[in-house]
Amino acid sequence: MENKELLKELSLAHAPSSREDKLYALIKEKFSAFGEVTIDSMNNIIIHKEGNARGKVMVMAHADEIFLLVTEILNNGVVKFKGVGVDPKSLVAQEVIIHGTKDILGIINIVKDINKAVTSNDLIIDTGYSKENLEKIIKIGDFITIKGKFVELLNSNVACKTIDNRGSIVAMYQCAKELQNIQHDLDVYFVCSCQEEVGHRGAKIATYNLNPDIGIAIDTTFDSGELGAKDRENIIGNGPVICHGPNLHHKLNKKIMFIGDKYGIPYGVEVEPGNTGTDAWDIQVSRKGVPSMLVSIPIKHMHTPVELVNINDIKNTGKIIARFIENLKEDELEELLCF
């Protein structure tokens, strides 16, 4: 229940790329029991959980969400916009919040009947304001986010906006809880990274500054069930997914899968021969190179207002990473991290 309530709070918060500071107070409240919570100049939120100071492992989950931006204010309180990462066809009839000098509620609609695929150019936001009054509150360039609704479904499934990637922050919280009463050799830096959705910018900065021995990115991946991705076998409810490919360190992957088997924590595997499209891509090439892993939570309906996840997958993601960290020993690091 604790994880579900935290996921609800995080998912219903509004923190688009470059506005991750909007989550700082909530994350500080929830994570301060585990260590010092700070925020850097880029809006990366960092929690330092002390170990035995025999190395550093960074666990990263991006905090930002996909968003829209105001591009034009028309007559009758109508707003035009551009989106980042949003599937336009999922936006029709959605409630959104325009973040001006105060928050304005709006409804997205189609400009006119069309017989083609919907693009953002075909959509408008109706606010009910006059243009004159609206221009006193919002301006071109203001952020827009989905209002969102948290829905509890059967079999420990829930749906909401921004499960990508607030679900992964909850997994980090679970990991921190698991480690709270465990002696671990490496210091742990939990990073809620900024601007992943627009180019993994926070990952670049945080990894460079922290210079960890190991970097672990937590993100979401596509479920492969009915209506899901057919190029993989990621089933919601079957645990986290360990990604394999050149972006990821094969010995670390082997170790975390051993840990899953040892402790009876379910997991799946997927393959990405190129860019994983996650913070792991930039973690790997920071400074002299950082051995990296990508542990993903399978979800349905990614980048829509109704992303669906299984709460147990979030919990098991945190558990497998915690057990992995517990089993990292200083005298084994050199051999483990050598290709």
Residues in Cβ contact with 320 at an 8 Å cutoff, skipping those fewer than 6 apart: 239, 240, 256, 259, 260, 263, 265, 267, 295
Tokens 């499960």 correspond to what residue?
A: 163
β-bridge mates for residue 155, sequence order: none
Question: Which residues are designated catalytic?
Answer: 196
pLDDT per residue as tens digits for the range 49-101: 999 999 999 999 999 999 999 999 998 889 999 988 888 889 999 999 999 99
> Cis before residue 165, ω within 30 degrees of 0?
yes
Which parts are annotated binding residues?
Answer: 62, 164, 197, 219, 303
pLDDT single digits (tens) 117-146: 888 888 999 999 999 999 999 999 999 999
> What pLDDT score does 310 carry?
98
- Binding-site residues for Zn(2+) sit at 62, 164, 197, 219, 303
pTM: 0.95
Q: Which fold has domain 2-65+161-337?
A: Aminopeptidase (3.40.630)
Locate CATH 3.40.630.10 in the chain: 2-65+161-337
- pLDDT band of residue 116 (cuts 50, 70, 90) is confident
* Token pair listed for 173: 């919280």
Which residues in the chain are classed under CATH 2.40.30.40? 67-146
Calculated CA dihedral for residues 163, 168, 173, 177, nearest 10 degrees: 120
pLDDT (tens digit per residue) in 184-200: 999 999 999 999 999 99
Neighbouring C-alpha atoms within 13 Å toward the C-beta of 159: 13
Banded model confidence at residue 232, pLDDT cuts 50, 70, 90: low
Rounded distance between C-alpha atoms, residue 288 and residue 64, angstroms: 27
Strands 151-152 vs 157-160: parallel, antiparallel or unpaired: antiparallel
CATH of 67-146, picked from 3.40.50.10800, 2.40.30.40, 2.60.40.2310, 3.20.20.100, is: 2.40.30.40
How high is the pLDDT of residue 231? 63
Phi and psi, residue 86, nearest 5°: -100, 135
Structure tokens at 52: 């035995």
Task: Write the DSSP assignment of 208-250 as a string of letters.
Answer: HHH--SEEEEEEEEE--STTS-SSS---TTS--EEEESTTS-H
